Amino acid sequence: MTSRRNGLGLGLALSLGSFCFCFSAPALAQDDAPAPVAPASDDTTAKPAEAPAGTPAVEPAKEPEKVAEEVKPPEPLPSPTKSTASGTSPEREKAVALVGLEELPASAYPSAEVRGIKYGSLWLTFHGQQWPYLPLIEGGPGLRIGLSGSIWNDFSNTHISVDKKLAGGGNALNDRNRWTTQTRGVLRFTPTYNAKDGWFAQGNAELVLHGDNTADPITKVLSSTDDLWVRAGKWNLFDVTVGRFQGWEIANHYGMALDQNTLERAGAVLIGSGLPNPSDGYGLTYFWDRQDYLLGGWAAHVYPTKYLRGELMGHVGAGNSQYAGTSNQTDIRPSAIFDIGYVKLKAGWEYGKSIPQDKTLHVRDSRNGYGFAAQFVLAPWVELGGSFARGFQDILDKDGHADLASSNTVQTYGGFINVSPAYEPVVLGFGVFQNHREDLRIDNRVGPHQGKVDTNDQTQIFGAVQYTLWEQLYFKFVLAHAQNHLEDYSAGIYTNKSMSGRFRVMFLF
């Protein structure tokens, strides 16, 4: 259909994945499973009261010289059922314990190898490990129901400086100043049943509450459900997952900023202007996120060694493509992670196609891409990483002809560094990322854009400072700058800039 140069190419990504699988460990990962954290014991044994100081001594009564007859003491009355410190009976507490309802303990957050510096962005990532990790506790219930979640609030401002070419003339676009407040909460339920020899079945349901109940065209407020899946397998060896979930993070880790659904992530976007928006960035993310409509996800995970993890993920069902409309979609996304703690190597590839359910239409929306990342942790002081990813989208119109204006290539690369000074709760973060998008349509008109394809480039730079209180309450301030340069067939050539500030308060439990 259409051809383009692949740049670094799919072969490099697959080579890196194959390189990862060459590493081996002398024992299977399940031999080194972390021991569950035993709950702290409370001494609830009642102690006899001591006599207060200063109480006069009492002499023992003298035994009478003669006793007419021996008097037997009365029979003791049956004692009432003993109560526990919580006011309930031991039998009731034992019955409740069989259910295993609990807030996720520290052991549920796996660290086969160090994830990152404490409170840093890599520390909040599980790098493909089975999470939540809830194996059987010796003497504990077979069914454990974990509770966890998060609530965050963002107060953001973005000032967009419009190119003077757009401030006058027919567009008449001026500088923009935008304020937003966003709030979002997630309550997570994770029932887990443990059988013998490490076998388990697990479910996960994430209920979402958000402060804004209208769908913003830029921040794209998510639906009322995040994860909703069922998983079964063997701890630290393999599992199969089906439902709604995200794939493994490969080349889409941006450090301490550029969080999803934030103004600094969007960059220099002119809402309602009709001008092309900059790319949101590509990190092997065509099929990484949770899919809507009637698309179901599936994934097989393998853990052949303590250091190597693999995921084969895909979706199948009815979707809603921008070009193919109501369509049938199938996709696949294999990836691998090699993790020895201080070095983490990640690579993957993805491919998918959407076909209209109306068989008379010949529209095809095909997407594929590759990505890889390298991350390093020098605990407890520094973590850093870099990534590169490139994606391709090919569109056929209703007649089966190549749609060169819609077909495109996207690319994102950059890196971040997070530093924790001597005072552990403080983390400083810095990063730079560059997003590029181009279509396949060549401009044949005479002018400055003649002989070129449409391109959209955005460079994003950020700095962040975060303070953590009581290990669960996070305060983070982000300052970000974006520069968006566009060369477009119809919109012309211009450069917009933005400066963003965001203050986040987040509570994790």
d(CA 86, CA 91): 13
The two tokens of residue 199 are 């076998």
Look at residue 245 and tell me if it is in a domain: yes
Confidence at residue 223, expressed as pLDDT on a 0 to 100 scale: 64
Euclidean distance between the first and final Cα of the chain, in Å? 51
For residue 15, the surrounding DSSP H or E stretch is helix 9-21
Handedness of CA 160, 164, 167, 170 (dihedral sign): negative
d(CA 100, CA 149): 18
Residue 344 amino acid letter: K
How many residues in total does the chain contain?
509
Handedness of CA 459, 249, 229, 115 (dihedral sign): negative
d(CA 387, CA 281): 12
Beta bridge partners of 466: 427, 476
Look at residue 66 and tell me if it is in a domain: no
Count of CB atoms situated within 10 Å of the CB of 250 = 28
Q: Which domain holds residue 417?
A: 104-508
Look at residue 83 and tell me if it is in a domain: no
Positions of the chain with pLDDT under 70: 1-99, 168-172, 213-223
Look at residue 70 and tell me if it is in a domain: no
Beta bridge partners of 182: 154
The pTM (predicted TM-score) of the whole model is 0.79
Handedness of CA 352, 357, 358, 360 (dihedral sign): positive
339: domain CATH number is: 2.40.160.10
Q: For residue range 160-187, what is the model confidence (pLDDT) as tens digits?
A: 999 988 876 555 688 999 999 999 999 9
Handedness of CA 395, 398, 399, 403 (dihedral sign): negative
Pairing of strands 408-419, 382-396: antiparallel
Distances (CA, A) of 16 to 320, 336, 372: 33, 9, 8
CB 427 within 8 A of CB 466: yes
Per DSSP, 32 falls in state: G
d(CA 221, CA 260): 10
Of the candidates 160, 166, 161, the residue with the CA atom closest to the CA atom of residue 178: 160
Per DSSP, 94 falls in state: H
Look at residue 395 and tell me if it is in a domain: yes
When divided into structural domains, the chain yields a total of 1
Look at residue 67 and tell me if it is in a domain: no
DSSP H helical segments within 180-309, as ranges? 263-266
CB 297 within 8 A of CB 305: no
